[in-house]
Homo-oligomer: A and B are copies of this chain.
Amino acid sequence: MTSARGKRPNASITNVAALADVSIATVSRVLSGRRTKDDDIARRVRQAAIELDYAVNSAASALRSDTSNIIALSLPATPNPLHAGIVAAISDAASAAGRQLLVGTDSTSAGQHQRIKAFIRRNADGIIVLPCPRSGTSTARGLATADTPIIQLFGSTNLLRHDWISIDNGASIELAVTHVVERGAHSIAYFSDAVGSSEGAQTLLAFQSSLNMLHAHADSDWITIADGTTQRGFADTMRIFGDASREIPEAIICASVDTAIGAMIALNQLAIDVPNRVQIVSLRDDTAAATSVPSLTAMRAPLPQMAAESLRLIANAGAATSDAMTVARLRRHVAFPRRVVARGSTRHAAVA
Protein backbone atom coordinates (compact mmCIF):
# COMPACT_ATOMS: atom_id res chain seq x y z
CA MET A 1 0.00 0.00 0.00
CA THR A 2 2.90 2.34 -0.55
CA SER A 3 2.47 5.28 -2.90
CA ALA A 4 4.73 3.52 -5.40
CA ARG A 5 2.09 0.95 -6.17
CA GLY A 6 -0.59 3.44 -7.12
CA LYS A 7 1.76 5.23 -9.52
CA ARG A 8 -0.23 7.39 -11.89
CA PRO A 9 -0.29 5.61 -15.25
CA ASN A 10 0.51 8.56 -17.50
CA ALA A 11 2.13 11.62 -16.07
CA SER A 12 2.33 14.55 -18.47
CA ILE A 13 4.97 17.13 -19.05
CA THR A 14 3.00 19.51 -16.85
CA ASN A 15 3.41 17.23 -13.83
CA VAL A 16 7.12 16.98 -14.40
CA ALA A 17 7.42 20.73 -14.76
CA ALA A 18 5.55 21.28 -11.52
CA LEU A 19 7.65 18.75 -9.60
CA ALA A 20 10.92 20.15 -10.96
CA ASP A 21 9.69 23.71 -10.46
CA VAL A 22 10.44 24.81 -14.01
CA SER A 23 8.32 25.53 -17.09
CA ILE A 24 7.11 22.83 -19.44
CA ALA A 25 9.30 24.34 -22.14
CA THR A 26 12.38 23.66 -20.06
CA VAL A 27 11.28 20.11 -19.42
CA SER A 28 10.82 19.57 -23.13
CA ARG A 29 14.23 21.02 -23.87
CA VAL A 30 16.06 19.03 -21.22
CA LEU A 31 14.47 15.70 -22.05
CA SER A 32 14.83 16.09 -25.80
CA GLY A 33 18.49 17.01 -25.43
CA ARG A 34 18.05 20.44 -26.92
CA ARG A 35 19.47 21.90 -23.71
CA THR A 36 23.02 20.73 -23.28
CA LYS A 37 24.00 22.11 -19.89
CA ASP A 38 24.06 19.54 -17.10
CA ASP A 39 23.36 21.82 -14.15
CA ASP A 40 21.01 21.63 -11.22
CA ILE A 41 17.95 22.39 -13.37
CA ALA A 42 18.67 19.54 -15.75
CA ARG A 43 19.16 17.18 -12.87
CA ARG A 44 15.93 18.27 -11.20
CA VAL A 45 14.01 17.73 -14.42
CA ARG A 46 15.45 14.31 -15.04
CA GLN A 47 14.86 13.32 -11.44
CA ALA A 48 11.24 14.42 -11.63
CA ALA A 49 10.74 12.53 -14.88
CA ILE A 50 12.07 9.34 -13.34
CA GLU A 51 10.03 9.82 -10.20
CA LEU A 52 6.81 10.18 -12.14
CA ASP A 53 7.76 7.44 -14.59
CA TYR A 54 7.25 10.01 -17.31
CA ALA A 55 7.70 9.28 -20.99
CA VAL A 56 6.74 11.66 -23.76
CA ASN A 57 3.40 11.11 -25.39
CA SER A 58 4.46 10.15 -28.87
CA ALA A 59 1.17 11.11 -30.45
CA ALA A 60 1.40 14.64 -29.15
CA SER A 61 5.05 14.84 -30.06
CA ALA A 62 4.38 13.56 -33.56
CA LEU A 63 1.46 15.91 -34.05
CA ARG A 64 3.33 19.00 -33.02
CA SER A 65 6.76 18.33 -34.46
CA ASP A 66 5.68 16.46 -37.57
CA THR A 67 8.17 13.67 -37.03
CA SER A 68 6.99 10.27 -35.84
CA ASN A 69 10.19 8.43 -34.91
CA ILE A 70 8.75 5.52 -36.84
CA ILE A 71 10.51 3.47 -39.52
CA ALA A 72 8.19 1.42 -41.70
CA LEU A 73 8.92 -1.89 -43.40
CA SER A 74 6.90 -3.43 -46.20
CA LEU A 75 7.42 -7.14 -46.78
CA PRO A 76 6.02 -9.68 -49.24
CA ALA A 77 3.51 -11.95 -47.51
CA THR A 78 5.26 -15.09 -48.76
CA PRO A 79 6.88 -16.56 -45.67
CA ASN A 80 10.52 -16.41 -46.65
CA PRO A 81 12.77 -17.68 -43.84
CA LEU A 82 15.12 -14.77 -44.44
CA HIS A 83 12.40 -12.32 -43.47
CA ALA A 84 12.72 -13.14 -39.78
CA GLY A 85 16.37 -12.11 -39.81
CA ILE A 86 15.62 -8.98 -41.78
CA VAL A 87 12.93 -7.88 -39.36
CA ALA A 88 15.26 -8.51 -36.43
CA ALA A 89 18.12 -6.58 -38.03
CA ILE A 90 15.98 -3.59 -38.91
CA SER A 91 14.30 -3.64 -35.51
CA ASP A 92 17.71 -3.52 -33.86
CA ALA A 93 18.93 -0.70 -36.07
CA ALA A 94 15.74 1.24 -35.51
CA SER A 95 15.93 0.78 -31.75
CA ALA A 96 19.52 1.97 -31.78
CA ALA A 97 18.31 5.12 -33.51
CA GLY A 98 15.51 5.59 -31.00
CA ARG A 99 12.80 4.68 -33.47
CA GLN A 100 10.08 2.09 -33.54
CA LEU A 101 9.32 -0.22 -36.43
CA LEU A 102 6.01 -0.50 -38.24
CA VAL A 103 5.65 -3.64 -40.38
CA GLY A 104 3.17 -4.56 -43.08
CA THR A 105 2.99 -7.62 -45.31
CA ASP A 106 1.26 -7.85 -48.68
CA SER A 107 1.08 -10.49 -51.36
CA THR A 108 0.81 -8.19 -54.38
CA SER A 109 2.66 -5.13 -55.49
CA ALA A 110 -0.64 -3.25 -55.63
CA GLY A 111 -1.27 -4.07 -52.00
CA GLN A 112 2.26 -3.04 -51.21
CA HIS A 113 1.65 0.26 -52.93
CA GLN A 114 -1.39 0.91 -50.75
CA ARG A 115 0.58 -0.11 -47.70
CA ILE A 116 3.33 2.36 -48.51
CA LYS A 117 0.79 5.12 -48.86
CA ALA A 118 -0.61 4.20 -45.45
CA PHE A 119 2.91 4.41 -44.04
CA ILE A 120 3.34 7.84 -45.56
CA ARG A 121 0.08 8.91 -43.95
CA ARG A 122 1.40 7.68 -40.62
CA ASN A 123 4.17 10.13 -41.29
CA ALA A 124 6.91 7.52 -41.05
CA ASP A 125 10.44 8.94 -41.02
CA GLY A 126 11.39 6.45 -43.71
CA ILE A 127 10.12 3.36 -45.48
CA ILE A 128 12.05 0.21 -46.29
CA VAL A 129 10.55 -1.98 -48.99
CA LEU A 130 11.33 -5.58 -49.88
CA PRO A 131 9.57 -5.68 -53.21
CA CYS A 132 7.20 -8.49 -54.08
CA PRO A 133 8.45 -10.60 -56.99
CA ARG A 134 7.39 -9.27 -60.41
CA SER A 135 6.33 -6.02 -58.83
CA GLY A 136 5.53 -3.82 -61.84
CA THR A 137 6.84 -0.35 -62.38
CA SER A 138 3.40 0.88 -61.34
CA THR A 139 4.61 0.79 -57.76
CA ALA A 140 7.00 3.58 -58.40
CA ARG A 141 4.87 6.22 -60.05
CA GLY A 142 2.49 7.43 -57.39
CA LEU A 143 5.18 7.55 -54.77
CA ALA A 144 7.70 9.65 -56.62
CA THR A 145 6.32 12.91 -55.27
CA ALA A 146 6.21 11.89 -51.61
CA ASP A 147 9.01 13.37 -49.57
CA THR A 148 9.17 10.41 -47.21
CA PRO A 149 12.41 8.60 -48.01
CA ILE A 150 11.88 5.14 -49.48
CA ILE A 151 14.57 2.48 -49.67
CA GLN A 152 14.43 -0.74 -51.63
CA LEU A 153 16.07 -3.62 -49.80
CA PHE A 154 17.05 -6.77 -51.71
CA GLY A 155 15.42 -7.64 -55.01
CA SER A 156 17.24 -8.41 -58.21
CA THR A 157 16.46 -5.15 -59.98
CA ASN A 158 15.69 -1.65 -58.85
CA LEU A 159 11.93 -2.00 -59.13
CA LEU A 160 11.16 1.06 -57.10
CA ARG A 161 12.80 4.16 -58.34
CA HIS A 162 14.49 4.86 -55.07
CA ASP A 163 17.68 4.20 -53.16
CA TRP A 164 18.54 0.52 -53.29
CA ILE A 165 20.44 -1.78 -50.97
CA SER A 166 21.10 -5.23 -52.35
CA ILE A 167 23.37 -8.26 -52.50
CA ASP A 168 26.42 -8.39 -54.75
CA ASN A 169 26.06 -11.94 -56.05
CA GLY A 170 29.19 -11.82 -58.15
CA ALA A 171 31.39 -10.72 -55.27
CA SER A 172 29.70 -13.31 -53.03
CA ILE A 173 30.54 -16.30 -55.18
CA GLU A 174 34.03 -14.98 -55.71
CA LEU A 175 34.45 -14.99 -51.93
CA ALA A 176 33.14 -18.57 -51.81
CA VAL A 177 35.59 -19.73 -54.46
CA THR A 178 38.44 -17.88 -52.77
CA HIS A 179 37.53 -19.52 -49.47
CA VAL A 180 37.93 -23.08 -50.75
CA VAL A 181 40.92 -22.31 -53.00
CA GLU A 182 42.78 -20.78 -50.06
CA ARG A 183 42.10 -24.04 -48.27
CA GLY A 184 43.63 -26.17 -50.97
CA ALA A 185 40.91 -26.87 -53.52
CA HIS A 186 41.92 -26.72 -57.19
CA SER A 187 38.76 -28.12 -58.75
CA ILE A 188 35.27 -26.98 -57.84
CA ALA A 189 31.72 -28.08 -58.62
CA TYR A 190 28.85 -25.64 -58.56
CA PHE A 191 25.26 -26.67 -57.83
CA SER A 192 23.39 -23.57 -58.93
CA ASP A 193 19.71 -22.86 -58.54
CA ALA A 194 17.85 -21.44 -61.49
CA VAL A 195 16.85 -18.11 -60.04
CA GLY A 196 15.63 -15.43 -62.38
CA SER A 197 17.56 -15.50 -65.62
CA SER A 198 19.65 -12.39 -65.14
CA GLU A 199 20.71 -13.04 -61.58
CA GLY A 200 21.47 -16.72 -62.14
CA ALA A 201 23.43 -16.02 -65.30
CA GLN A 202 25.39 -13.26 -63.63
CA THR A 203 26.34 -15.49 -60.70
CA LEU A 204 27.40 -18.29 -63.02
CA LEU A 205 29.57 -15.89 -65.00
CA ALA A 206 31.18 -14.67 -61.79
CA PHE A 207 31.86 -18.28 -60.80
CA GLN A 208 33.68 -18.93 -64.06
CA SER A 209 35.77 -15.80 -63.88
CA SER A 210 36.66 -16.51 -60.25
CA LEU A 211 37.95 -19.90 -61.32
CA ASN A 212 40.15 -18.31 -63.97
CA MET A 213 41.45 -15.70 -61.62
CA LEU A 214 42.33 -18.23 -58.94
CA HIS A 215 43.68 -20.90 -61.30
CA ALA A 216 41.03 -23.45 -60.38
CA HIS A 217 38.89 -25.42 -62.77
CA ALA A 218 35.52 -27.10 -63.15
CA ASP A 219 34.50 -29.84 -65.57
CA SER A 220 31.46 -28.83 -67.51
CA ASP A 221 29.26 -31.51 -65.95
CA TRP A 222 30.22 -30.37 -62.45
CA ILE A 223 28.10 -27.29 -62.98
CA THR A 224 24.44 -28.18 -62.57
CA ILE A 225 21.40 -25.97 -62.57
CA ALA A 226 18.29 -27.25 -60.83
CA ASP A 227 16.07 -26.68 -57.80
CA GLY A 228 17.51 -26.18 -54.33
CA THR A 229 16.22 -29.38 -52.75
CA THR A 230 18.11 -31.86 -50.62
CA GLN A 231 17.35 -34.67 -53.06
CA ARG A 232 18.94 -32.73 -55.87
CA GLY A 233 22.14 -32.27 -53.89
CA PHE A 234 22.16 -35.97 -53.08
CA ALA A 235 21.51 -37.03 -56.68
CA ASP A 236 24.03 -34.67 -58.30
CA THR A 237 26.69 -35.72 -55.83
CA MET A 238 26.03 -39.42 -56.35
CA ARG A 239 26.35 -38.92 -60.08
CA ILE A 240 29.53 -36.85 -60.03
CA PHE A 241 31.33 -38.63 -57.17
CA GLY A 242 29.96 -42.15 -57.61
CA ASP A 243 32.15 -43.15 -60.53
CA ALA A 244 35.49 -44.17 -59.00
CA SER A 245 37.23 -44.04 -62.38
CA ARG A 246 36.80 -40.32 -62.87
CA GLU A 247 38.41 -37.26 -61.35
CA ILE A 248 36.27 -35.73 -58.61
CA PRO A 249 36.18 -32.07 -57.60
CA GLU A 250 37.83 -31.00 -54.37
CA ALA A 251 35.05 -28.64 -53.41
CA ILE A 252 31.36 -28.04 -54.03
CA ILE A 253 29.62 -24.70 -53.90
CA CYS A 254 25.87 -25.05 -53.38
CA ALA A 255 23.19 -22.44 -53.90
CA SER A 256 21.20 -23.63 -50.90
CA VAL A 257 21.77 -25.25 -47.52
CA ASP A 258 19.43 -28.11 -48.37
CA THR A 259 21.40 -28.95 -51.50
CA ALA A 260 24.63 -28.85 -49.53
CA ILE A 261 23.24 -31.20 -46.91
CA GLY A 262 22.07 -33.58 -49.61
CA ALA A 263 25.61 -33.52 -50.97
CA MET A 264 27.05 -34.23 -47.53
CA ILE A 265 24.78 -37.22 -47.03
CA ALA A 266 25.79 -38.59 -50.40
CA LEU A 267 29.50 -38.12 -49.70
CA ASN A 268 29.05 -39.83 -46.36
CA GLN A 269 27.45 -42.79 -48.15
CA LEU A 270 30.36 -42.87 -50.59
CA ALA A 271 32.81 -42.71 -47.68
CA ILE A 272 34.35 -39.53 -49.04
CA ASP A 273 35.62 -37.36 -46.22
CA VAL A 274 34.34 -33.82 -45.68
CA PRO A 275 36.23 -31.52 -45.42
CA ASN A 276 39.56 -33.30 -46.03
CA ARG A 277 38.76 -34.86 -49.40
CA VAL A 278 35.96 -32.51 -50.47
CA GLN A 279 35.04 -29.10 -49.05
CA ILE A 280 31.52 -27.73 -49.17
CA VAL A 281 30.22 -24.17 -49.05
CA SER A 282 26.60 -23.07 -49.19
CA LEU A 283 25.83 -19.64 -50.62
CA ARG A 284 22.97 -19.28 -48.12
CA ASP A 285 22.83 -19.87 -44.39
CA ASP A 286 20.17 -21.08 -42.01
CA THR A 287 19.87 -22.93 -38.73
CA ALA A 288 20.25 -26.35 -40.37
CA ALA A 289 23.76 -25.38 -41.52
CA ALA A 290 25.01 -25.09 -37.97
CA THR A 291 23.45 -28.33 -36.73
CA SER A 292 24.54 -30.67 -39.51
CA VAL A 293 27.52 -33.00 -38.99
CA PRO A 294 30.00 -31.74 -39.94
CA SER A 295 28.57 -28.25 -39.64
CA LEU A 296 28.27 -26.45 -42.93
CA THR A 297 30.33 -23.46 -43.99
CA ALA A 298 27.77 -21.01 -45.37
CA MET A 299 27.42 -17.43 -46.53
CA ARG A 300 24.97 -14.96 -45.20
CA ALA A 301 23.84 -11.49 -46.08
CA PRO A 302 25.32 -8.94 -43.65
CA LEU A 303 21.89 -7.97 -42.36
CA PRO A 304 22.97 -5.71 -39.50
CA GLN A 305 25.15 -3.66 -41.85
CA MET A 306 22.42 -3.55 -44.48
CA ALA A 307 19.87 -2.43 -41.90
CA ALA A 308 22.21 0.23 -40.56
CA GLU A 309 22.88 1.46 -44.07
CA SER A 310 19.15 1.66 -44.72
CA LEU A 311 18.66 3.88 -41.71
CA ARG A 312 21.66 5.96 -42.69
CA LEU A 313 20.23 6.57 -46.15
CA ILE A 314 16.89 7.49 -44.59
CA ALA A 315 18.50 9.92 -42.21
CA ASN A 316 20.52 11.54 -45.00
CA ALA A 317 17.57 11.72 -47.33
CA GLY A 318 15.94 14.23 -45.03
CA ALA A 319 18.94 16.51 -45.32
CA ALA A 320 19.20 16.03 -49.06
CA THR A 321 15.62 16.90 -49.94
CA SER A 322 15.60 20.05 -47.88
CA ASP A 323 18.56 21.12 -49.94
CA ALA A 324 17.70 19.94 -53.43
CA MET A 325 13.92 20.31 -53.21
CA THR A 326 12.42 19.87 -56.63
CA VAL A 327 15.65 18.77 -58.26
CA ALA A 328 15.60 15.02 -58.88
CA ARG A 329 17.94 13.47 -56.36
CA LEU A 330 20.51 10.91 -57.46
CA ARG A 331 19.44 7.40 -56.57
CA ARG A 332 22.00 5.59 -54.51
CA HIS A 333 22.75 1.88 -54.83
CA VAL A 334 24.80 0.00 -52.27
CA ALA A 335 25.50 -3.71 -52.83
CA PHE A 336 26.92 -5.88 -50.06
CA PRO A 337 28.61 -9.23 -50.67
CA ARG A 338 27.55 -12.11 -48.47
CA ARG A 339 30.00 -13.02 -45.72
CA VAL A 340 31.51 -16.49 -45.25
CA VAL A 341 30.68 -18.14 -41.94
CA ALA A 342 33.43 -20.76 -41.70
CA ARG A 343 32.31 -24.03 -40.16
CA GLY A 344 33.32 -27.68 -40.32
CA SER A 345 32.71 -28.44 -43.99
CA THR A 346 35.77 -26.46 -45.08
CA ARG A 347 39.30 -26.79 -43.79
CA HIS A 348 41.36 -24.40 -41.73
CA ALA A 349 43.05 -21.78 -43.86
CA ALA A 350 46.43 -22.88 -45.20
CA VAL A 351 49.34 -20.99 -43.66
CA ALA A 352 51.41 -19.48 -46.46
Chain A residues packing against B (C-beta within 8 Å): 5, 7, 9, 55, 57-60, 62-63, 68, 73, 75, 77, 79-85, 87-88, 91-92, 95, 100-105, 118, 121-123, 145-147, 227-231, 234, 258, 261-262, 264-265, 268-269, 286-288, 291-293
Contacts and interface: CB of A to CB of B under 8 A. Distances in A.
Contact of A59 (B62, B91, B105, B293): B62
Contacts of A88: 75, 77, 79, 105
Given A79-B84, A92-B77, A262-B265, A100 B102 contact: yes
Nearest to A85: B79
A292 B235 CA distance: 13
8 contacts: A59-B60, A60-B63, A63-B63, A79-B84, A88-B105, A95-B104, A229-B291, A231-B261
Contacts of A287: 79, 81
A9 B103 contact: no
A104 B80 contact: no
Contacts of A146: 9
A123 B84 CA distance: 25
A8 B174 CA distance: 49
A55 B121 contact: yes
Contacts of A100: 102, 104, 118, 122
A301 to B, nearest CB: 12
A286 B81 contact: yes
Given A81-B286, A87-B103, A265-B265, A229 B58 contact: no
Nearest to A114: B95
A145 to B, nearest CB: 8
Instruction: Tell which of A5, A68, A81, A268 has the most Cβ of chain B within 10 Å.
Output: A81
Given A9-B146, A58-B122, A288 B229 contact: yes
B91 A103 contact: yes
A228 B286 CA distance: 14
B147 A265 contact: no
Q: In this complex, which of A92, A228, A229, A261 has the most chain B Cβ atoms within 10 angstroms of its Cβ?
A: A261
A343 to B, nearest CB: 14
Nearest to A230: B261
A102 to B, nearest CB: 6
A265 B122 contact: no
Most buried by B among A59, A85, A92, A145: A59
Contacts of A77: 88, 91-92
A57 B227 CA distance: 48
Contact of A288 (B75, B104, B230, B292): B230
